[in-house]
């Protein structure tokens, strides 16, 4: 099975006041065609920087290492022109805040139609494409609404418009960074269903970045859990969330109140998340880990396959899996 996107040992260094800070530290993951991969972590876990590296929109001064293999090509060494053409056409991104991503001075229709227009489509074709796309993402009365400006849309409609914009270039991979965090709960559920359905009927691959386990559990086939810039665990979503192979995942799952029973008996994670600028020695999770012992403080755990299709970066993953 050839992955559409294969990230291999990705590193991202950002300039900091005391020298560069490694915010992504050797991340490897695959996105197979047509699947949704959920990238979970607290703030500072490096999940957003990983997505920005893929789309080629890292902050100025960022240095990267490793390989981002996109269909046989390493995007990290591709020319700026090639990266621009990949962006939008092959890989598109949906952001948390559509107001920041949309141009306030341009109508929704104009923005959604920009890529088809640049591709040389006629006015009539662009109009048809825009109306189709807005209709597909559930914007009511698209022939009229395409003339509206972003501020005239509700939060949910703006998010739909941004999804339409992302789909306009017919990408094979959609990156979604906290796409529903700014929305209220009922709208969140609708946007997630929409993302899942466009993903399914276009055979799109999706990398969904979220701090919210419930969001990821809803839509992801595969899950990658990140902590302090590194992969803690990855595998099939149902398995990872039901039977974690890393104490951090286990704590994350325990911190979420069961959705169905609406129980308030969640156990918040102890301590503060490690930051890449202040990464603890050995296993970065050790100050918060109930299983930590001497080895954890001195030796960085390798990400290893602990069961078929399950990778964990815990020295004692077998113990965690065994229910200890
Ligand atoms: Fe905990 Fe040690 Fe595993 Fe890290 S390596 S998660 S500190 S048991």
Q: How does the average pLDDT of the chain come out, rounded?
A: 91
Higher per-residue pLDDT: 265 or 38: 38
Question: Is a pLDDT exceeding 50 seen at residue 44?
Answer: yes
10 Å CB burial of residue 294 (0-12, 13-18, 19+) is exposed
* Other CB atoms within 10 Å distance of the CB of residue 9: 12
Ligand 1 centroid–CA 182 distance in Å is 33
Classified as helix, coil or strand, 215 is helix
Range of 87-96, 211-220, 257-266, 294-303 with top mean pLDDT: 294-303
Q: Where are the domains of the chain?
A: 5-90+171-321
Indicate whether residue 227 lines ligand 1 (CB < 6 A).
no
Ligand 1 centroid–CA 7 distance in Å is 24
> Quick one: pLDDT at residue 212?
87
Work out the percent of the chain whose per-residue pLDDT is above 90. Answer: 71
> Quick one: pLDDT at residue 266?
67
Higher per-residue pLDDT: 39 or 277: 39
> Quick one: pLDDT at residue 260?
47
For the record, the structure tokens of 29 come out as 């993951």
Question: Is a pLDDT exceeding 80 seen at residue 55?
Answer: yes
> Quick one: pLDDT at residue 188?
83
Integer distance in angstroms from the first to the last C-alpha of the chain? 34
Q: If you take atom 4 of ligand 1, which residue's CA is the nearest one?
A: 283
Residues 6+ apart with CB under 8 A from 267: 251, 254, 255
Q: Which atom of ligand 1 is nearest to the CA of 246?
A: 6
- Which uninterrupted H or E stretch holds 216? helix 213-219
Indicate whether residue 92 lines ligand 1 (CB < 6 A).
no
Instruction: Give 178's DSSP letter.
Output: S
pTM: 0.91
CATH architecture of the domain with residue range 5-90+171-321: 3-Layer(aba) Sandwich (3.40)
CA 274 to chain centre: 20
Using alpha carbons only, how large is the chain's radius of gyration in Å?
Answer: 20
DSSP string, 239-284: HHHHS-SSHHHHHHHHHSPPTTTT-----PPSSPPP-GGGPPSSST
Ligand 1 centroid–CA 41 distance in Å is 16
Q: Name the least confident of 37-51, 131-145, 182-196, 296-310.
A: 182-196
Ligand 1 centroid–CA 134 distance in Å is 47
Note whether ipTM > 0.85 here. Answer: yes
Indicate whether residue 296 lines ligand 1 (CB < 6 A).
yes
For the record, the structure tokens of 278 come out as 């202040």
């Amino acid at each position: 099975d050839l992955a559409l996107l294969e990230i291999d040992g990705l590193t991202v260094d950002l300039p900091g006041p005391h020298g560069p800070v490694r915010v992504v530290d050797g991340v490897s993951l695959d996105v197979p065609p047509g699947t949704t991969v959920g990238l979970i972590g607290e703030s500072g876990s490096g999940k957003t920087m990983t997505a920005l590296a893929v789309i080629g929109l890292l902050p100025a001064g960022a240095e990267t290492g490793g390989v981002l293999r996109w269909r046989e090509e390493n995007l990290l060494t591709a020319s700026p022109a090639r990266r621009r053409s990949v962006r939008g056409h092959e890989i598109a991104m949906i952001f948390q805040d559509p107001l920041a991503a949309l141009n306030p001075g341009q109508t929704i229709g104009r923005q959604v139609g920009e890529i088809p227009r640049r591709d040389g489509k006629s006015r009539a074709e662009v109009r048809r494409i825009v109306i189709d796309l807005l209709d597909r993402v559930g914007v009511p009365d698209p022939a009229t609404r395409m003339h509206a400006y972003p501020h005239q849309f509700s939060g949910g409609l703006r998010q739909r418009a941004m999804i339409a914009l992302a789909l306009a270039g017919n990408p094979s991979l959609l990156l979604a960074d906290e796409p529903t965090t700014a929305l209220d709960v009922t709208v969140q559920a609708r946007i997630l269903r929409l993302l899942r359905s466009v993903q399914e009927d276009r055979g799109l691959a999706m990398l969904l970045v979220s701090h919210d386990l419930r969001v990821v559990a809803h839509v992801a086939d595969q899950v990658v859990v990140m902590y302090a810039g590194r992969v803690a665990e990855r595998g099939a979503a149902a398995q990872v969330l039901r039977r974690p192979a890393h104490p951090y995942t286990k704590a994350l799952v325990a911190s979420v109140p069961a959705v169905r029973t609406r129980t308030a008996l969640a156990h918040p994670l102890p301590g503060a998340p490690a930051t890449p600028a202040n990464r603890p020695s050995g296993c970065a999770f050790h100050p918060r880990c109930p299983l930590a012992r001497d080895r954890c403080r001195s030796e960085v755990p390798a990400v290893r396959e602990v069961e078929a299709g399950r990778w964990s970066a815990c020295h004692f993953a077998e113990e965690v899996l065994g229910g200890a």
